[in-house]
A = this chain, B = another copy of it.
């Protein structure tokens, strides 16, 4: 497997698992509906993403830092909306 293929697969993976929370955030803002969303899942996920962010700083990996920083911003918004709308 050529290494640029591996890099592309990893980059597309990171891109998708980062921007995927945008439709969820937009949906909640539009519908104000959050009852089906598990606060436990979102809280554990946000804790994990925070640790990935710390890990990114520890190994000085800018792709890990950037991807997890954006994910964390979207998650904080989802958790805020969940706490607001219940």
Contacts and interface: CB of A to CB of B under 8 A. Distances in A.
Nearest to A45: B20
Contacts of A1: 58
A1 B51 CA distance: 15
Contacts of A20: 41-42, 44-45, 48
A70 interface: no
Interface residues of A, number: 42
Contact of A41 (B21, B34, B54): B21
B23 A40 contact: yes
28 contacts: A6-B55, A6-B58, A9-B51, A9-B54, A10-B52, A10-B55, A12-B48, A13-B49, A14-B48, A15-B48, A16-B47, A17-B45, A17-B48, A18-B48, A20-B42, A20-B44, A20-B48, A22-B41, A23-B41, A24-B38, A27-B36, A27-B40, A31-B36, A34-B36, A35-B36, A36-B36, A36-B37, A37-B37
